[in-house]
Amino acid sequence: MSHDLWRDAAILRADPQLTALVAEAVAVRERAWVPYSGFRVGAALVGESGRVYLGVNVENASYGVAVCAERTAVVSAVAQGERRFREIAIVTDATELAAPCGVCRQTLAEFALAEEGQDLFVTLVSLGGTASRLQLSALLPLAFTPRSFQVRPIR
């Protein structure tokens, strides 16, 4: 299955580019603003240009205002003019694998699943010892994307 590409941190370490990307996500994670949950998340998003855009979760005294690390990275990339992406690495210190929330999947899909055949690799690392690499299309099957507007509703 496409979402079982990697389930092994050793395989992850065998890819130097991915290792470097994960290291960036690990480092930026320290900057997360998480006074309420204490759950730090770091994200490193690679654009088609090769540039890396970093994100952390930023919480708020008004809890619902919190923004996830993945969305912080996407917003930063788009603000800097990049809209096509190769890979995102997401790091938490959970033991179990922590996959992006539904809102972040949808935000990533806006850019990464916009065109036929397009996809995005998502590398998940839980510092508790689990890693996995899968595709966004597996995380968000049958996604509503910009292409969905061209589909006529069934009556």
Measured from the CB of residue 52, what is the shortest distance to ligand THU in angstroms? 17
Which of 93, 100, 37 lies closest to 70, judged by CA?
A: 100
DSSP summary character for residue 131: E
70 a catalytic residue: yes
Measured from the CB of residue 71, what is the shortest distance to ligand THU in angstroms? 8
d(CA 4, CA 129): 16
Q: Interhelix angle for 102-112 vs 69-79, to 10°?
A: 30
Q: Which residues are at the interface with ligand THU (CB under 6 A)?
A: 34, 37, 39, 41, 57, 59, 66, 68-70, 100-101, 104
Nearer Cβ to ligand THU (10/61) = 61
Measured from the CB of residue 27, what is the shortest distance to ligand THU in angstroms? 16
Nearer Cβ to ligand THU (38/50) = 38
Nearer Cβ to ligand THU (32/52) = 32
d(CA 45, CA 53): 5
In the set 24, 30, 59, 70, the catalytic residue is 70
Contact 40, 56 (CB under 8 A): yes
Catalytic residue numbers? 70
